Structure 1
Amino acid sequence: MGVKRKGHHRPTAISHGRPPQFQKPAASLSSKATRTLIRSHHQLHKALAQAKARGDHAKAKSLQLEIDSHGGLESYQQASIKGQSSERGGDTSRLLMEWLRTLDFPNVTVHDKQKMRLLEVGALSANNACSRSSLFDVTRIDLHSQSAEILQQDFMKRPLPRNENEMFDIISLSLVLNYVPEAAGRGDMLRRTCQFLRPSSKSADSSAPFPCLFLVVPAPCVTNSRYLNESKLSDVMGALGYTMIKKKISPKLAYYLWTYDHDATKNDDTFKKVEVAGGASKNNFAIVLR
């Protein structure tokens, strides 16, 4: 089966988005300090990426000096690992496994009786819940791998599947989309996921969601943004062929499970950066679909 190529824009690399991770997190970081450090570095790296994109070398140099003065990437890496450790409830794949169990996923007709294929983008560990389940053939990638079991790779540069055997039943984007510094780049990433998902693998009597996308973003991205709310997110995802089947909004994170149907894709739909809610306290998180 041939692989359809969607979209007319060359995908943008995300190397200026999510910074690399540090292998040994500092145990002394408190929960509040972790959140503050992550937020500060996230904002600085976003501004740095924007300055570089504008060609503003003076501003980029100034921002880099500020990042270095805060401890550089090492301090960020420590906080990032600590903030997503199991002791902080950071293994989001536990919820994915709970959801799949409620959706009768063991009864799915698996290709050639093999394990379901899962692509975990931004993987931090090879020992999370989905890996321990023994139900998946997991491919793990991250911009800066700290493990031999995690391939160092930019998802936006990953070669497209040459055939259905190289495609996946599930893709996990857990706390990845929010590290893409530009709204259009986030749309490009979501569109690109469609090219890696297999055609439907449901059996006639199964309620399993495959192929599907597990998406996790900080809750304020959809609950407190000027440019994005859950309704608009659903519209964007719907244009790509996704339908929401599960969600959970906690004070910190928004979790979604989307089932994918290639035939429902609306290739001509675009979404610009348009305000959906005003207010001085709102953030500027947005998704632009080109």
Structure 2
Amino acid sequence: MATKKKKTKLKSLSLGRPPTVKYTASISSKATRTLIRTHHTLEKQRAKALADGDDAKAEAIAKEIEVKGGLQKYQKASLLGQSNDRGGDSSKILMEWLTPVVPMLREQLKNSHPVRMLEVGALSTTNACSKSHLFEMERIDLNSQSQGIKQQDFMERPLPVTENELFDIISLSLVLNYVPDAVGKGNMLLRTLKFLRTTKYTGNLQEFFPSVFLVLPAPCVMNSRYIDEAKLEGIMKALGFVCVKKKLSTKLVYYLFRLESATTKRNFGFKKEEIRSGKTRNNFAIVLK
């Protein structure tokens, strides 16, 4: 009689990522896109193998990822994708949206009450938000590539104890799509509530804060079997957010969700249900149980 395989619960982002290897060669624009797509596909396959309890398959996929350059090569490709000649850094869009409140951000900084930003999955210390010098920045990533980025898994980050440890804005730029399973994606969005301030803001600041800056590959929203814009905004609304800004392009979608009132719900009912059919659809999904 065959024994039932033990399933491995993906408790953190780090479980969905393989070891890293050194990589120094340059990457062309076309190769960059191919590398990122391949890396994401292999990561999803590895996450599924882990969830199914197939450790042998998961290990084989991890080795394949390592042969292809691992997380470090993926991050190099992502950094190249953020360079000016590859379309620029996504935080430029956020800074454009925040133009009306720049004077207030400067005033907050001058009065020693800076607006605090947590950048999850940070790859650089020189993006538009950092170079603006308008925020008190804290940057984290699973595999830090710079001295100004703390090596940390957001899902395992200690919860704030004092008001000073809370943030006014959390950046999830091309992070949610990396989470290996649909439940994990929902848990990440839910967890942002524990790190955002709930105090009232004055003037125009209340139009933008507290908030989550969410950036995803466009196909995650525009070509998924399980997610479209209406469902994404419905999920965020259930958590207590309202969409105040958005920009859709052929490659990326950008959203700024302001937190109006953090939810106290324990059951949400957002399942992995097909809302669009077709062989060309992808399987990006967010589940809030």
Q: Which range, TM-score by smaller chain? A: 0.7 to 0.9
Equivalent-residue separation in structure 2 for 1:61 and 1:24 (angstroms): 21
- Where does residue 83 of structure 1 map in the other structure? 81
Q: Which deviates the most, 224-233 or 121-130?
A: 121-130
Name the SS of the counterpart of 1:15 in structure 2. helix
**In structure 2, which of residues 17, 33, 36 is the aligned counterpart of residue 35 of structure 1?**
33
Name the SS of the counterpart of 1:215 in structure 2. strand
- Where does residue 94 of structure 1 map in the other structure? 92
- Letter in structure 2 aligned against 1:246: K
Over residues 60-83 of structure 1, what are the superposed CA-to-partner deviations in whole Å (9 max), with x where a residue is unaligned? Answer: 233234334434445434323222
Once the 2 structures are TM-superposed, how far is the Cα of residue 101 of structure 1 from its aligned partner? Answer: 1.1
- Where does residue 245 of structure 2 map in the other structure? 246
In 1, are the aligned partners of 2:226 and 2:276 still within 8 Å (CA)? yes
Name the SS of the counterpart of 1:160 in structure 2. coil
Equivalent-residue separation in structure 2 for 1:65 and 1:165 (angstroms): 42
Cα 1:74–1:148 change in 2 (3 A) is closer
Equivalent-residue separation in structure 1 for 2:255 and 2:17 (angstroms): 20
Equivalent-residue separation in structure 1 for 2:65 and 2:47 (angstroms): 13
Q: Which deviates the most, 205-214 or 36-45?
A: 205-214
Name the SS of the counterpart of 2:124 in structure 1. coil
In 2, are the aligned partners of 1:25 and 1:82 still within 8 Å (CA)? no
- Letter in structure 1 aligned against 2:282: N
Name the SS of the counterpart of 1:262 in structure 2. coil
1:17-166 to 2 correspondence within 5 Å?
17=16, 26-27=25-26, 29-102=27-100, 104=101, 106-107=103-104, 110=108, 113-166=112-165
Q: Which deviates the most, 193-202 or 67-76?
A: 67-76
Structure 2 residue runs without a partner (length 5+): 1-8
Q: Which deviates the most, 14-23 or 78-87?
A: 14-23
Equivalent-residue separation in structure 2 for 1:160 and 1:141 (angstroms): 14
Question: What TM-score do you get using the length of structure 1 for normalisation?
Answer: 0.87
1:175 corresponds to 2:174:
yes
Name the SS of the counterpart of 2:13 in structure 1. coil
Equivalent-residue separation in structure 1 for 2:204 and 2:134 (angstroms): 20
Bigger relative contact order, structure 1 or 2 (CA pairs below 8 A, ≥6 apart): 1
Percent identity, aligned pairs only, is 55
Name the SS of the counterpart of 1:217 in structure 2. strand
Count of aligned pairs between the two proteins = 279
Name the SS of the counterpart of 2:286 in structure 1. coil
Equivalent-residue separation in structure 2 for 1:273 and 1:174 (angstroms): 23
Equivalent-residue separation in structure 2 for 1:110 and 1:152 (angstroms): 28
In 1, are the aligned partners of 2:75 and 2:123 still within 8 Å (CA)? no
Equivalent-residue separation in structure 2 for 1:79 and 1:55 (angstroms): 30
Cα 1:18–1:202 change in 2 (3 A) is farther
Over residues 18-73 of structure 1, what are the superposed CA-to-partner deviations in whole Å (9 max), with x where a residue is unaligned? Answer: 6688897643x221111111101110111112212222123223323433443444
- Letter in structure 2 aligned against 1:158: R
Once the 2 structures are TM-superposed, how far is the Cα of residue 200 of structure 1 from its aligned partner? Answer: 3.9
Q: Which deviates the most, 37-46 or 57-66?
A: 57-66
Structure 1 residue runs without a partner (length 5+): 1-9
In 2, are the aligned partners of 1:18 and 1:180 still within 8 Å (CA)? no
Equivalent-residue separation in structure 2 for 1:87 and 1:117 (angstroms): 29
Over residues 69-127 of structure 1, what are the superposed CA-to-partner deviations in whole Å (9 max), with x where a residue is unaligned? Answer: 4344454343232223333124111110110114x353368496421000000011111
Equivalent-residue separation in structure 2 for 1:277 and 1:214 (angstroms): 26
Query: Alpha carbon RMSD of aligned pairs, Å?
Result: 2.5
Equivalent-residue separation in structure 1 for 2:88 and 2:15 (angstroms): 23
Equivalent-residue separation in structure 1 for 2:165 and 2:180 (angstroms): 29
Equivalent-residue separation in structure 1 for 2:185 and 2:168 (angstroms): 21
Cα 1:282–1:89 change in 2 (3 A) is same
Equivalent-residue separation in structure 2 for 1:141 and 1:80 (angstroms): 15
In 2, are the aligned partners of 1:226 and 1:278 still within 8 Å (CA)? yes
Question: What TM-score do you get using the length of structure 2 for normalisation?
Answer: 0.88
